[in-house]
């Protein structure tokens, strides 16, 4: 039987380039980043070694869930098979409800496939990692002002962002800097309303967001089955067989 191809309207989320130690050095010019390295990096290095992960080959994938209130950090050596769960951070605060973000000021945490596009070492919320919201799919909804400035950050307050406490963001920020220095140009971040398995998705068939969630489900289910992200086509869209 011919395999079924599902083309998802999401961008390529993993970009790999040459190692760039200068990025680490640039980030460590900032006092909060230096303090985070001093407090968190020795234990993280030990954990990476214990798991057979090399810092100079580090590749990360993040996913977050509204129900369950958590951010997961998955890691592998660059391009080498399955990711393993490295860290799980509880969301220290939430806002909005289930469903995608549509406009500025709606208080919603976005749902969809994003990547880190900014490192902010001087955040109002200690340290923060910015997401490329709105992405092409968000913009295609046609809202005149979809909003922006969505971050994973410290503290425990939010209006649409993902706070994981100051201690949590120190760990995650250091890991993200190391992955970027190792050559990971785009760190994928997938935000889901809940585990998008067939049973839980079917239980919410009456939701006005059901079709939107059904479009995200193949990415979630592929990772659950393979512990790696789906391949992409020549246009950079995920292809789930």
Q: Active-site residue numbers?
A: 153, 161
CB of 107 closer than 8 Å to CB of 151: no
Which among 26, 16, 27 has a CA at the least distance from the CA of 57? Answer: 16
3-state secondary structure of 116: strand
CB of 158 closer than 8 Å to CB of 93: yes
CB of 151 closer than 8 Å to CB of 129: yes
| Burial profile 105-134: b = 16 or more Cβ within 10 angstroms, e = fewer | ebebbbbbbbbbeebbbebebbbbbbbbbb
Which among 154, 178, 186 has a CA at the least distance from the CA of 47? Answer: 178
Residues present in the chain in total: 241
Rg of the chain in Å (alpha carbons): 18
CB of 216 closer than 8 Å to CB of 137: no
H-type alpha helices, 152-209: 165-181, 198-203
Which 8-state DSSP code applies to residue 36?
H
């Amino acid at each position: 039987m011919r395999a079924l191809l599902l083309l998802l309207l999401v961008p390529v989320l993993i970009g790999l380039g040459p190692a760039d130690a200068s990025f680490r050095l640039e980030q460590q010019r900032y006092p909060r980043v230096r303090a985070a390295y001093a407090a968190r990096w020795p234990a993280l290095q030990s954990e990476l070694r214990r798991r057979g992960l090399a810092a100079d080959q580090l590749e990360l994938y993040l996913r977050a869930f509204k129900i369950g209130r958590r951010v997961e950090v998955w890691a592998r050596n660059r391009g080498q098979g399955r990711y393993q769960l490295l860290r799980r951070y509880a969301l220290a605060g939430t806002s909005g409800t289930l469903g995608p973000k549509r406009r500025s000021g709606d208080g919603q945490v976005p749902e969809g496939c994003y990547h880190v596009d900014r490192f902010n070492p001087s955040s109002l919320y200690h340290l923060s990692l910015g997401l490329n919201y709105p992405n092409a799919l968000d913009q295609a909804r046609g809202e005149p002002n979809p909003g922006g400035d969505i971050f994973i950050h410290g503290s425990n307050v939010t209006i649409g962002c993902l706070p994981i406490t100051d201690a949590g963001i120190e760990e995650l920020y250091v890991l993200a800097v190391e992955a970027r220095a190792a050559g990971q140009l785009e760190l994928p971040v997938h935000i889901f309303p809940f585990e998008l398995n067939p049973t839980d998705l079917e239980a919410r068939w009456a939701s006005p967001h059901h079709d939107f969630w059904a479009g995200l489900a193949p990415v979630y289910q592929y990772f659950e089955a393979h512990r790696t992200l789906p391949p992409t086509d020549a246009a950079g869209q995920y292809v789930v067989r």
